[in-house]
Structure 1
Amino acid sequence: MKATGIVVEYNPFHNGHLYHARQSKIETGADVIIAVMSGQFLQRGEPAFADKWTRTEMALLNGIDIVIELPYVYATAQASDFAKGAIALLSAIGCESFCFGSEEGAIHPFLRTYELLNGQREQYEQKIHEAVQTGISYPKAMNRAYNALTGNSDGYADLTQPNNILGYHYIDEAKKMGSPMSPHTIQRIAANYHDPIDKGLTIASATGIRQAFFEEGSMKEIANYMPVPSLLSLQEFNRQYHAFGSWEQFYPMLRYSILKERPAQLKRFSEVTEGIENLIFEAAAKEHEFEGFIGRVKSKRFTRTRIQRMLTHIYTGFTWDQLRSFQTPSYLRLLGMSEKGKRYLNQQKKNMGLPLISRAANLTDPMGKLDIHASSMYLLGIGAKDLKKEFTSPPLYFG
């Protein structure tokens, strides 16, 4: 059986994701589609809208064959480390290819970009360093360095676009690892990453869907943009917890996590740097709501995403020392599978590059224990009564 891999968050699973999954199978000629999915906290430094089991259910009900979890250390990282973890897992589980959605829509510009940056990596890194020293954010520094090397010529991937950036890093990491997986991409359609919903369309960004729900507080506002199974899964999650994941929901616990420390102690948490710990502490002391808090802290140098990743690590207690101790994923955590996915795993079990783990009790190394802890902190923030769901939730199976 031929497998292709996709890297996802499904926050939540919408019609655009369904299109991506179906087109990925067509593009690669795969029999099985495997999703590496972020767990309870996401790459932009946010709690997931719904927990990982609900999002796994959405995936399986909409044609995904296997869902494996991207460990916390990679799921909440900046783009290159996010890609490093995801590509390592897809390679370990035996995918012959991977397919990502992009604003570019064609693979050749990404391959040309890789050849350019790989051939001038030292010069590229130096230009980024120089740009950062001027006080601009890291993403803007990367773009300035990239434009200096390309001369704004045609034929290269546009690395100002969020999905293009991730796509480039997927290819870069696959090349670094010497992975035999072939890269593919499909055009992102109808809605860009940050776009609000357009009531004349049936495809919207996950950002737009979440925004519409939180503004209106009604499933009716988002029903047209999601497959029916996804909507039903969200309704069940809401029935169980009476809330969805957001920093507004988590802010009382986050605020406590910040204020119980002295400002100097906040520096030990991952990504907290350059004296921003003082500003974070002062903002938490003054602001009763998350938007007021984040408004005090973000700046041209410290983007909202960068700050939110810091906050995620403060909330979960993830330190610089822990971050530096992890080099590569150490397991494949199975969250769910279809009947076809089960057959694939049985076929591949002797050839996998990492151990396949289906029970939280077997996550005994530091990376696995971190995933369990982060999940408990998510459940605490969402108001769950049972914080041990990791141990009572076997992989989902839809035969």
Structure 2
Amino acid sequence: MSGQFLQRGEPAVVPKHVRTKLALQAGADLVIELPYIYSTQHASIFAKGAISILDSLKCDYVCFGSEEGKIETFYELIKQKKQLTSSINTSIRTFLDEGLSYPAAYSTALQKNLESSKLDVSLPNNILGIHYLEAIEHFDSRMEGRTIQRIAANYHDEETNHHSIASATAIRKILKGDNQSISDFVPSFTKDSIEEYINEYGALHFWNEYLPFLKYKLMTSTKEELENIYEAVEGLERRVLHSVLNCLNFEELMTSIKTKRYTWTRIQRLLTHILTNTSKKEIASILERDRVPYIRLLGMSSMGKTYLNTKKKLIDLPIYTTINQQNQKELSTDLKATHTYASMLSLDNQQKLIKTEYSLYPIIYDEKSNQFSRS
């Protein structure tokens, strides 16, 4: 599970300790954090981070949602893709030179070179699924892919057109103040937990609440400091700086920055890295290791605990259950993300939320009593 910031380059609506509990209540047995450096990335790095952790945990299968719904179609495309790697890479460069964003250039290149494929590579979950399966091959993992078809709501759908299924985008829109309830689209315990968080902390986490902090960071940074931020390329950071002076809210800022070349998500990820002051050097030093170098355990059920006990001799990565002097440096980027994430809260609530990073995990869930505890 992503931590405080997500792959779309935005803060999670509620923090990871709340979402860990929700995942356990929904049937997950182990909840592992995908570190910030992987969770706020484009699809290929995001997928590599997730797959490397699951492979280290000795999982047998990886199951992902997709618009396609048939795993055989993915494997057929990947087989074809290997045979046409050079041609596809050439097409990607051509489409990038024409001004397309990388995701658009990638999917268009696949469409052009793999015309016989049955997989619709214009759809985001299908693209992510390709990267998951390629990451399995990259790590020479014994894991197998499985997929569940996404139905009724597309990835970017902002409206609710089904009586019980909605996209994450639509649910976030409702939570921002749409005159509608999320009750029909999430389990009752999810709705209750979100309401409890609002009552306890006073707000949910949306980009607009971080805009003053983003402005401050941009206005007090030198040209060189902004250029060193991860994903600041081709002068995009200067475009952000110019736009932030004249916007009244986050929506205005994004609209003024967006171009054909840079997707909304790509820009949000840059803004997230500016907000957290994450540099190109900081990211590169971790990504050069190829695999995620540790397992951060956020929560587990009794079955999850049994699984870890059974596999622990086979798992060759450290499993972090607490933050201490030995691992604090390795977890520094995630700690920084939590401090940044908490910044829009009142001072006392900031301290309370930051404290969860050090004292709450792993969260233990007793399925029979529906109770949580700290190990």
Asked if Structure 1 and Structure 2 have the same fold, meaning a TM-score greater than 0.5 normalized by the shorter chain, the answer is yes
Is the Cα–Cα contact under 8 Å of residues 40 and 374 in structure 1 kept in the other structure?
yes
For 2:307, the equivalent position in structure 1 comes to 344
Q: 1:382 to 1:170 in 2, by over 3 A?
A: farther
| Structure 2 residue aligned with 1:303 | 263
1:29 aligned partner: none
User: Corresponding residue for 2:10?
Assistant: 46
Look up the equivalent residue of 2:232 and give its one-letter code.
V
The answer as to 2:337 corresponding to 1:388 is no
Residues in 2 aligned to 1:174 and 1:363: alpha-carbon distance in whole angstroms: 30
Deviations 1:292-315 (A, max 9, x none): 111111111111111101011111
Unaligned runs of 5+ in 1: 1-36
Deviation >6 Å, runs of 4+:
none
From 99, 119, 123, the counterpart of 2:83: 119
Count of matched residue positions in the alignment of Structure 1 and Structure 2: 359
Q: Does 2:283 match 1:323?
A: yes
| Amino acid in the other structure paired with 1:390 | E
Give RMSD over aligned pairs: 1.5
SS at match of 1:352: coil
Secondary structure in structure 2 of the residue aligned to 1:315: helix
Give the Cα–Cα distance (whole angstroms) in 2 for the partners of residues 55 and 125 of structure 1: 38
Cα distance in 1 between the residues matched to 2:108 and 2:17: 40
Contact 2:77 2:117 in 1 (8 A): no
TM-score (norm 2): 0.92
Aligned-partner Cα distance in 2 for 1:389–1:361: 14
Q: Residue by residue, what CA displacement relative to the aligned partner does 1:267-299 show, whole Å, maximum 9, x if unpaired?
A: 100001001121111111222311111111111
Instruction: Give the structure 2 partner of residue 71 of structure 1.
Output: 35
1:70-120 Cα shifts (integer Å, max 9, x gaps) = 011100010000000000000111111110010000001110111122222
The answer on whether the counterparts of 1:56 and 1:67 sit within 8 Å (CA) in structure 2 is yes
- Specify which of 185, 205, 218 is matched with residue 167 of structure 2: 205
Aligned mates of 2:84, 2:345 — CA distance in 1: 46
The equivalent position to 1:357 in structure 2, one of 298, 320, 336, is 320
SS at match of 1:186: strand
* Match of residue 267, structure 1, among 227, 238, 247: 227
Q: State the match for 1:12 in structure 2.
A: none
Distance 2:163 2:345 in 1: 31
SS of 1:385's partner is helix
Cα distance in structure 2, aligned partners of 1:183 and 1:378: 33
Structure 2 partner of 1:190: 152
Any unmatched runs of 5+ in structure 2? 367-375
CA distance in 1 between partners of 2:51 and 2:297 (Å):
16
CA contact (8 A) 1:376 1:388 kept: no
Q: Is the 8 A contact 1:263 1:281 kept in 2?
A: no
TM-score normalised by structure 1 residue count: 0.87
**CA deviation after TM superposition for structure 1 residue 382, in Å:** 4.2
Query: Which residue of the partner structure matches residue 150 of structure 1?
Result: 114
Matches of 1:114 and 1:242, distance apart in 2: 47
On the 8 A contact 2:31/2:297 being kept in 1, the answer is: yes
Query: CA separation in 2, counterparts of 1:148 and 1:99?
Result: 28
